Structure 1
Amino acid sequence: MKKGYITSQLILENTIDYVANYGLENVTTKKVANEMKISEGTILYHFKNKKTLLRECLYYVDNKIDSALKEVSFWGFNLPKGIKELWYKYFEYLISHGSYTKFYLNYRQSSYYDEETMKGQIKSFNFFTKIVKKVMPKLGADPEIFWVYLIETTLNFAVRVSDNQIENNEQNIEKIFKIIFYGVNGITQKHKIEDFK
């Protein structure tokens, strides 16, 4: 690869793919550079160190997902239907971008996912964060608890679907939605699962 063609975005995409294929514990800037057939210095020119690189990968994926979610006209809907449509859009994006999903899950379950990183997500995941903070109290759920529950559970299912461990079909996705939101119903008390039909 010629140096002139190396952009920050290209490095982020290659790092995400590397983590998706080999795991977060195996990634180094040197290994990503070797995979890209560039010098490690080229990566370090764009990103201060591995920690910064990985954090920027997370924010990059956040921004991609957030842009996809903005396509849902959430505020105009009946609340339960809006939540369902938003979740479907989120899940659809995750299963069609398997590398992003695997990276995201790996990163969130690592020691890299610290307070500083979470604070940065207020900007990178702005649309979704705003909805969670405004809507969840109306349903009687703690936004912080709901956030962890929804993201972690959805990511785990999405990885399994994108890896073909669970067949990607309408019936299975509906079942996954109901499993996740039956759990939420246990927290909220205000809405029954029938409200989401």
Structure 2
Amino acid sequence: MRHETIDLIFDAAVEVFAEYGFERAKVDDIAMKAGIAKGTIYYHFKSKEELFVALMNEGLEKMLDHARTEMEQAEPPREQLRRMLAAQVRFLIGHGTFTKLLLTEVWGSKERQQAFRSRIRQYIDLIEQVLRRGTEQGIFHLTHPNETAASIFGAVGVAVLHTIYRCQDQSEQMEAEIPKIIDTLEHLLFNGITA
């Protein structure tokens, strides 16, 4: 029962935080949207900040698991990177409200920054591992794999966020954009922009 209640809280919280932003969101609004008493939220989370951190950590963990699953289905580093990139795009498009929060709200307070750095770092480390393997095998030519991994993570996030805002509330159109985003990012990553 506890997990169902937390899922209700998270579902309501992601909508309220996305609609009002972290600062203006109220626990009362989250409780009302979830159809539970405000005290139930405070039973599970000490504060709005703790709720937000837990919500974002769960989303990032799901995204990381999704990317790992995709990566493990391929062997060569190039294909692993391709699968991770596609998995991140699909996950972020499929969780548009979470994506807006991730890329607009998580950098607010110092506490939030510290809480998310470790999760985002795990994701970037996963990308970096693939880049290093590919470099060792002569597939990639990189001098700064850490910075490249962070750049890939950021490029995917911003490309998806751009699509989410451009296709506002048109989920079919967003779904149709997924192959174009993946193709564009793959081309940029593997071929660059020079002729």
Per the normalisation by structure 1, the TM-score is 0.72
Structure 1 residue 131 and structure 2 residue 130: aligned?
Answer: no
Structure 1: give runs of 5+ residues left out of the alignment: 182-191
Per the normalisation by structure 2, the TM-score is 0.73
Identity over aligned pairs, percent: 18
What is the aligned partner in structure 2 of residue 118 from structure 1? Answer: 117
1:140 alignment partner AA: T
Structure 1 residue 23 and structure 2 residue 25: aligned?
Answer: no
Change (3 A) 1:26 1:148: farther
In 1, the alpha carbon distance for the partners of 2:124 and 2:150 equals 12
What is the aligned partner in structure 2 of residue 161 from structure 1? Answer: 163
What is the aligned partner in structure 1 of residue 88 from structure 2? Answer: 90
Q: What's the offset of the Cα at 1:115?
A: 2.2
Q: Deviations over 1:124-159 (max 9, x none)?
A: x85x3542342345433252x345433333222212
In 1, the alpha carbon distance for the partners of 2:58 and 2:48 equals 15
What is the aligned partner in structure 2 of residue 171 from structure 1? Answer: 180
- Of 134-143 and 10-19, deviating more is 134-143
What is the aligned partner in structure 1 of residue 143 from structure 2? Answer: 140
Q: What's the offset of the Cα at 1:61?
A: 0.2
In 2, the alpha carbon distance for the partners of 1:94 and 1:23 equals 18
Structure 2: give runs of 5+ residues left out of the alignment: 136-141, 169-173
What is the aligned partner in structure 1 of residue 10 from structure 2? Answer: 12
Change (3 A) 1:105 1:41: same
In 2, the alpha carbon distance for the partners of 1:91 and 1:169 equals 7
Q: What's the offset of the Cα at 1:57?
A: 0.7
Q: State the secondary structure of the residue aligned to 1:64.
A: helix
Q: In 1, are the aligned partners of 2:92 and 2:157 still within 8 Å (CA)?
A: yes
Q: In 2, are the aligned partners of 1:69 and 1:90 still within 8 Å (CA)?
A: yes
In 1, the alpha carbon distance for the partners of 2:124 and 2:177 equals 27
Change (3 A) 1:140 1:28: farther
What is the aligned partner in structure 2 of residue 43 from structure 1? Answer: 41
Q: What's the offset of the Cα at 1:193?
A: 2.1
In 1, the alpha carbon distance for the partners of 2:149 and 2:54 equals 21
